[in-house]
């Protein structure tokens, strides 16, 4: 029997220009920035739209996002790719650091470590990732994170180290 053609799947993604949000991030505290994003006053970043991440909650030193696993997140083994889960953990851990920073301070992730504990599938249902600041110094911060499924089972854990610096210049945000 000849192979049947596989129906093509498509996904269209739209996003807002990220530059105004990047400029706003330098003017307000991290906590105020994410509160405005959660309320829709600042658009979410393009990668969040691409992957389907949703900001659930943000507070001083804490950040929570959700992801509804979809087929387009799958790796060749038929489950959500570890890079998607790593991105989710990096996002909540570094954003937790951002929520603890005052206006004018920025951060970049220096290092992450991820432990995959349980495979995630579309039928797993929505997963929740939470990041929390562990330590916050003048130049370096550390955070930890975890991804859990709807039954509270841990799917992955991680740690992050972030570099803290004075905010970006307007010129670097434009390039």
Please state, in angstroms and rounded to a whole number, the distance separating the CA atoms of residues 53 and 159: 19
| Mean of pLDDT over the chain | 92
What pLDDT was estimated at residue 168? 59
Band the pLDDT of 3: cuts 50, 70, 90: confident
Burial degree of 137 (CB within 10 A; 0-12, 13-18, 19+): exposed
pLDDT of residue 55: 87
pLDDT surpassing 60 at residue 170: no
Tell me how long the chain is: 175
Rounded to 10°, the helix 82-99/30-38 angle is 120
Convert the pLDDT of each residue in 75-114 to its tens digit: 999 999 999 999 999 999 999 999 999 999 999 999 999 9
Q: How many other β-carbons are positioned within 10 Å of the β-carbon of residue 98?
A: 25
* Over residues 131-158, mean pLDDT: 98
Percent of the chain at pLDDT > 70 equals: 94
For domain 19-174, give the CATH superfamily: Hotdog Thioesterase (3.10.129.10)
Q: What's the pLDDT band for 169 if we cut at 50, 70, 90?
A: very low
pLDDT (mean) for 118-142: 97
Q: How do the domains of the chain map onto residue ranges? A: 19-174
CA distance 150 to 154: 10
What six digits make up the tokens of 143?
């955070």
Q: How confident is the model at residue 18 (pLDDT cuts 50, 70, 90)?
A: very high
Q: Report the SS3 class of residue 145.
A: strand
pLDDT at 156 > cutoff 90: yes
Nearest to 34 by CA among 117, 104, 126, 96: 96
Q: Give residues with Cβ within 8 angstroms of 136, minimum separation 6.
A: 61, 97, 100, 164
DSSP result, 22-36 = HHHHTTS-HHHHHHH
- Name the CA radius of gyration of the chain, rounded: 17
């Amino acid at each position: 029997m000849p192979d049947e053609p596989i129906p093509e799947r498509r996904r269209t993604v739209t996003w807002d220009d990220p530059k105004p949000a990047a400029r706003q991030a330098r003017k307000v505290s991290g906590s105020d920035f994410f509160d405005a994003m959660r309320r829709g006053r600042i658009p979410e970043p393009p990668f969040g739209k691409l992957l389907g991440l949703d900001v659930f909650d943000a507070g001083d030193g804490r950040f929570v996002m959700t992801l509804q696993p979809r087929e387009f997140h799958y790796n060749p083994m038929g489950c959500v790719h570890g890079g998607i889960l790593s991105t989710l953990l990096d996002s909540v851990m570094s954003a937790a650091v951002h929520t603890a920073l005052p206006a004018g301070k920025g951060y970049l992730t220096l290092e992450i470590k991820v432990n995959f504990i349980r495979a995630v599938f579309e039928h797993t249902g929505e997963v929740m990732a939470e990041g929390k600041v562990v330590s916050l110094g003048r130049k370096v911060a550390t955070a930890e994170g975890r991804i859990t499924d709807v039954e509270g089972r841990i799917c992955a854990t991680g740690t992050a180290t972030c570099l803290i610096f004075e905010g970006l210049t307007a010129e670097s945000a434009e390039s």
